[in-house]
């Protein structure tokens, strides 16, 4: 069988690593042990045997290898951390004001009155109010 080559190295045929067992899982083929090992904290390698219809022995360390016909072993390429890592914080941009002048116009009022008349509503009541149409 083929293992996920991104996660585990190629299977070592007829090889059994003894000891350092973490847990055993039932899988019908050796290539399925790779995912079991990858998701098990502390698992670094596995040996698959055909016992009980297929058994993955997930292991914490590589013990003594032995020739064992029909067994397959493989090592995972990178150990999945027990706790998820966090990204290092970056200096994110902020909305805080800066002292640097910009050329952008602002909506801030100015103290300089203009002499031009304004068009639109005023505070002066219209002389048409209150008159019958």
- Is 95 a domain residue? no
What's the domain range around 57? 12-75
102 vs 46, more confident: 46
- The domain that contains 20 carries what CATH number? 3.50.4.10
Residue 26, Cα to own-chain centre: how many angstroms? 29
Is a pLDDT exceeding 90 seen at residue 129? Answer: no
> Strand 65-75 and strand 21-26: pairing?
unpaired
Q: What is the pLDDT of residue 90?
A: 64
Is a pLDDT exceeding 90 seen at residue 127? Answer: no
| 8 Å CB contact between 73 and 16 | yes
| 8 Å CB contact between 27 and 56 | yes
- Is 55 a domain residue? yes
Distance, CA of 81 to CA of 130 (rounded, Å): 81
Please count the structural domains in the chain.
Answer: 1
pLDDT, tens digit, 9 for 90 and up, residues 1-35 = 456 678 899 999 999 999 999 999 999 999 999 99
Distance, CA of 123 to CA of 92 (rounded, Å): 47
Is a pLDDT exceeding 90 seen at residue 133? Answer: no
Of 26-30, 80-84, 125-129, minimum mean pLDDT range: 80-84
Q: What is the pLDDT of residue 105?
A: 73
Average pLDDT over residues 77-95: 63
Of 32-41, 50-59, 110-119, minimum mean pLDDT range: 110-119
- Is 63 a domain residue? yes
């Amino acid at each position: 069988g083929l293992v996920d080559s991104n996660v585990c190295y190629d299977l070592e045929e007829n090889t059994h690593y003894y000891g350092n067992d973490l847990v055993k899982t039932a899988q019908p083929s050796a290539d399925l042990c790779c995912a079991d090992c990858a998701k098990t904290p502390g698992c670094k390698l596995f040996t698959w045997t055909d016992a009980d219809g297929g058994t993955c022995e997930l292991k914490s360390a590589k013990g003594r290898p032995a020739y064992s016909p029909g067994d397959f072993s493989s090592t995972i390429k990178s150990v999945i951390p027990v706790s998820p890592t966090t990204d290092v914080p970056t200096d994110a941009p902020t909305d805080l004001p800066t002292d640097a002048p910009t050329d952008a116009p602002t909506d801030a009022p100015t103290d300089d009155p203009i002499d031009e008349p304004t068009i639109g509503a005023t505070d002066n009541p219209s002389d048409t109010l209150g008159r019958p149409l």
